[in-house]
Structures are given as structure tokens and as C-alpha cells.
A and B are shown apart, each in its own frame.
Chain A
Amino acid sequence: MTSNSIIQVRNLHKTYRTGDVDVHALRGVDLDVARGEFLTVIGPSGSGKSTLFHIIGGLAAPTSGDVVIDGVNLRSLEDRERTKMRQRKVGFVFQKYNLLPTLSARDNINMAQALADRPPKPSDFDEILTMLQIKQRLDHKPRALSGGEQQRVAIARALVNQPAILLADEPTGNLDTENSQAVLQILRDLNKRTRQTILMITHNPEAAAYADRTVTMRDGVIHA
């Protein structure tokens, strides 16, 4: 394994049981993501990229194989420890934004911080909010924000705990072209300015083009 890799995946298998049928979602995935890299995993629906996203993010356990995030092998972690890992090491950006609808944008960000029991926000967080262009919209609830604004709040929320990796699952899937480009540009700027490691899942080759490197997934395996 490369010592500079912040994400190391080796021979990863994931099998789901659906009724009496075993579904092999991942069939031996190997992947390295370097610290500070912006990597895109591209592939059609059903290729297993979302399953990979969930396992790397600690939302699901692997059936077999190793997933090492920032030096911690997820295979050895209990549910509780995986949850703790999500608090500190992973920031999620989802296709459907997934903001808590009853809280303002500011409180959505604060909630992530409260759950991780983290002290003050990073020193450059104000700068990040400026970059995301949401400083004036922080006191609004999600229903008062546009899709692009909601996704930018979700990015701020994902970054507030200074995660080792930012995982983005189809972050532009619900956005129009203009907002999609803005969000992708923000992700690329973030990566360049703060060396934030980003792993983005998409099926859109145009979105994938914003990354440093793209790998393709098909039938549960990665093709470089």
C-alpha cells in the first residue's frame, strides 16, 4: 500500500442478500487515493460505485477486504467506532443535499460540529463560507434556499469538522447546468486551495473532468 494514500481499498467485496438471492455489488475492488487528491469514480447505475461510497464513508460494513481511511482499517471497527470515524474523518455531500429541514443553514452546519463534539470551527472556515457564497443565507431554512445554495451549505457542513476526506455522491445530480458547474468549480477550488482530499461519485463525464483523476467502475470492479 502507498504510504501517501489517505484511502486504501484492497480486494473489497460486498454481497447483499435480497430475499433468497445474493447480490455481489463489489467483486474485489482495489483503489488508492492520495492525500490531497481529487478523484472521481465514474460508472453506470448498478456498477457498485454507491456501495463503494457507503463503505468508504463508514455507512456500511464490507463483506471482505480492507478499507483503510487515514490509517484506520474499517474492517476492525464496530458500528459505534465507524460512527465516530464518520464524525471526524469523513464529510458527506449527497445528491439530495440532505439538510435537516427544521434547522437553518447555520444550524445545519453547527449540528455536524455538535455531533462530532468539535471545538471551534477551522480558522479558514469564514473564508470557505465566502468562497461558497452562502454567508448571507446562513439564517435561512433549507426550503428558502435554491438547490445550488442548499448544496453549498451541505459542502460547508461537510467541511466544518476538517475531515480527512470529502465524499461526494452525485453532488450535481439535482442541479441545473449553471449550479452544477458552480458546485464542481467550488470542489476543485477547495481541493486546490486547502489540499482537501475529495472522492466524487458520478455518472457524468463532464463532472468527472473537474477531478485530478478518474477511475471507472463496472460490474463491481474498478478499471483504471
Chain B
Amino acid sequence: MINKLVLENLKHRWVRTLLSALVVGVQVMSILTLIGLSRGLLEDSANRLKATGADIVLKPESGATLSLSTGQLSEKFVPFLAKQPHVTQAVGVLSHNVSSSILTMNGVNIPEFAKISPGFKFLSGGPPQNDPDGLIIDAYYAREHHLRVGDTVTLLNHPWHVTGIVEGGVLSRLVVDLSRLQWATGNGGKITEILVKLDDPARTNEEVTELNKLLEGSLKAISMADLVSQFSINNIPSLKAFIWVIVALAVVVGFLVVFLSMYTAVLERTREIGILKALGAQPGTIIGILIREAFVLAAAGCVIGIVLSFGAKALIMAIVPASLQVVNVPDWWPISGGIAILGALLGAIYPGLKAARQDAIEALAYD
């Protein structure tokens, strides 16, 4: 009977119920989209790195493994590494953020890179031929920016000519000649990392150990498998902290929404609370009614939030497919649901106590 009263109360004030559930849903959607974005971007980066075909990646000894800081490494290491036993190819890569975007442009010696990589799959055009400003873009970037082969695009305050559009999935979405990018960004002779191809991939771990001994103090070698495994939210402390901040904000938003909703409900239903008390409802029963209402709001909000997260993903992938990658995160559905319910239950406590403490006679006299 109490459950029926809870549902009838929610139905009776359906606009407030819907709005409250919607706000909780937006909160759930924010969490799911943020996690989906973080994972999507990391997975996308990891997959594109893996798709280069390199067995080992070398980065500066001092830098964080997942750092994409520009030009910290001398390109002189590239020929040195290429001469090492079992190394068939070494290619230096310079990464540089494109201004006001999380997009990265990669500079690489394209013919050399083609030797270690399964190669770019061109959908139209091809690699730059005698054009130092030639730019290879992927299909996502082309779609987002409505670009075609032959178009000119200004990036890093420099005009580039689109010579080819490739399927996404190798290196970054924007690839140019290494020396041109070094010149355009003032990183002459500098690179970000070195990709190494071995004659026998089974020797990867052995070679990583050898290279780390050889280059101790200068470079750090890591197998592609290990590097890819590190593309996780847990390995990026700042991202992890950011996610916790968003989660905490979500709890606060859920708390405030349900608090306001329940507080208003208690004020509106003063007489009804008086009736229940006159009929013999104990304070615990009154609190229980509001807690159940908050729970239903939060549960409905969770479902709405999950549905909205699919909508948000579709929207992001339609509008900015090159800039942002989102994946579905079903393992976070129960977590975000738990966060929403926690916020809602916290929000129902004070209104519940207020209702339970209400004087029955005053409540019955309320108009």
C-alpha cells in the first residue's frame, strides 16, 4: 500500500517527477559521457599507435610514458637505433597539438614510415609528391571539416595542402612531413618518440631490455603491447582526479535536485502528512515514503541517463568525430546509477526528517 502511495504521489505531480528524473538523468549522462569520452579517446589513441605496426616505442627517459609533449628528443637517435641488431626500421615521430584543440598533428618521414606500417589506406588522393606542405588527413577529420583533396587548410598558422584522405586508424588524424612540421613548430631536429620495427616480433621483450640497457639515462624503450595497456584512465592521474571531481559534482547535483523536489513535496503535502500521522503512521514510515520516492526518481533518472548517453554519443560522433571519440561504458551504468541514488537518498533525508517531525495537529490544520 505504501508503494502504491509513493507511485501515485509521483504520478500526481508528474511534471515535477519528470523534471527531477530528467535532471538526475542528465547527471548520469554526464558521468557516462565523460567516462565514454575518456575511454574513447584513449582507446582511439592506443589503436592508432598499435596500427603503426611498430614493435617498440622509445620515449625520453624523463617524460611520462603517456606524455605527448612536443620535441623532447633528438632525431639523431633514429639512425643510431636503425643500426642496432634485429632492428629493421626506426622512424621518428613529432607530435604537436593543433591550437585550441585536443587534436594532434604528426610529423613523420612518410616513405620511411610506410616500411614499418601496413600503410595508409587512401580513400582519395595519395601521399604528398614533391609538396613539402602536403597534408594527409583521415576520413573523420575530412567529414568534420568538409575537406577534399586539393583543399588548403591553415593549421599552426601555416597553410597545408590536402593531398590524401585515408581511413582513420593510423598515427594521428593529421600527418605531414616530419621536417616541415619541425620547421613550422620551431622544433628543428627534435622528435617526440621513435617507432621501432624488429625482424622478429617474438624478440620484443628481449630487445626492450637490451635497448633500455644501451640507452639508459637518455631513452626509455617500451613494447607496443605494454604501452597500449597503459592507455587507461587509471594511468592518467589528472584525468582520474577530473573524473572524481565530476562524480562529486554529480552527487551534489543529485542531492540538490532531489532535496528541492522532496522539500517542495513535503511543504505541499503538509496536510497529507498530517493525515498519515493521524492514521497512525510512525515517523519511520513517513521518512520511508520520501526515501522511496527519491529512490524511484533516481532509478528513473538512471534509465533516462543511460538512454541520453547513447544520444550524446551519437551527437558527438556526428558533429565532431575527429575531435572526440566516445564509447559506450555499460560497466559504468551501475556505478553512475549508484552515484545518482546516493545523491538522491542524501537529498531525501532532511525533507524526510522534517516531514516526520511535523506536528500532526498543525499539519491537519494546514491549507
Binding site for B on A (CB under 8 A): 54, 57, 59-60, 80, 83-84, 86-88, 92, 94, 98-103, 107, 110-116, 157
Contacts and interface: CB of A to CB of B under 8 A. Distances in A.
Given A59-B361, A60-B361, A103 B277 contact: no
A112 B364 contact: no
A111 B285 contact: no
B249 interface: no
B334 to A, nearest CB: 31
Contacts of A88: 280
A157 to B, nearest CB: 8
B8 A102 contact: yes
A111 B8 contact: no
B8 A86 contact: no
A84 B284 CA distance: 13
B307 interface: no
Contacts of B280: 83-84, 86-88, 112, 115-116
25 contacts: A54-B361, A59-B360, A59-B361, A59-B364, A60-B361, A83-B280, A86-B279, A86-B280, A87-B280, A92-B278, A94-B364, A98-B271, A98-B278, A100-B275, A101-B272, A102-B8, A102-B9, A102-B12, A103-B5, A107-B5, A107-B8, A111-B5, A114-B1, A114-B2, A115-B285
Most B-side CB within 10 Å, residue of A88, A111, A116: A111
Interface string B274-289: 1111111110010000
Nearest to A85: B280
A94 B282 CA distance: 20
A99 B272 CA distance: 8
Given A54-B361, A101-B12, A102-B9, A115 B4 contact: no
B278 A100 contact: no
Contacts of B272: 100-102
B360 A112 contact: no
B276 A115 contact: yes
B282 A102 contact: no
Contacts of B274: 98
Contacts of A84: 280, 282
Contact of A83 (B4, B9, B281, B364): B281
Interface residues of B, number: 23
Contacts of A94: 278, 364
A110 B279 CA distance: 11
B11 interface: yes
A152 to B, nearest CB: 17
Interface string B288-326: 000000000000000000000000000000000000000
A107 B8 CA distance: 11
Contacts, number: 68
Nearest to B1: A114
Contact of A102 (B5, B271, B277): B5
B364 A100 contact: no
Nearest to A95: B364
Interface string B192-208: 00000000000000000
Nearest to B274: A98
A13 B298 CA distance: 48
- Considering the complex of A and B, which 3 residue pairs feature the smallest CB-CB distances, nearest first? A87-B280, A114-B1, A102-B8
Nearest to A113: B1
Contacts of B271: 98
A102 B276 contact: no
A59 B278 contact: yes
B254 to A, nearest CB: 25
A54 B361 CA distance: 8
A117 to B, nearest CB: 9
B1 A107 contact: yes
A188 B282 CA distance: 32
Most A-side CB within 10 Å, residue of B9, B274, B279, B285: B279
Contacts of B361: 54, 59-60
Contacts of A107: 1, 4-5, 8
Nearest to A107: B4
A59 B1 CA distance: 23
Given A87-B280, A100-B272, A101-B272, 18 more contacts: A59-B361, A86-B278, A86-B279, A94-B364, A98-B278, A100-B5, A102-B8, A102-B12, A103-B8, A107-B1, A107-B4, A107-B8, A112-B280, A114-B1, A114-B2, A115-B279, A115-B281, A115-B285
Interface string B255-284: 000000000000000011011111111100
A126 B114 CA distance: 89
Contacts of B278: 57, 59, 86, 92, 94, 98
B203 to A, nearest CB: 74
Interface string B4-38: 11001101100000000000000000000000000
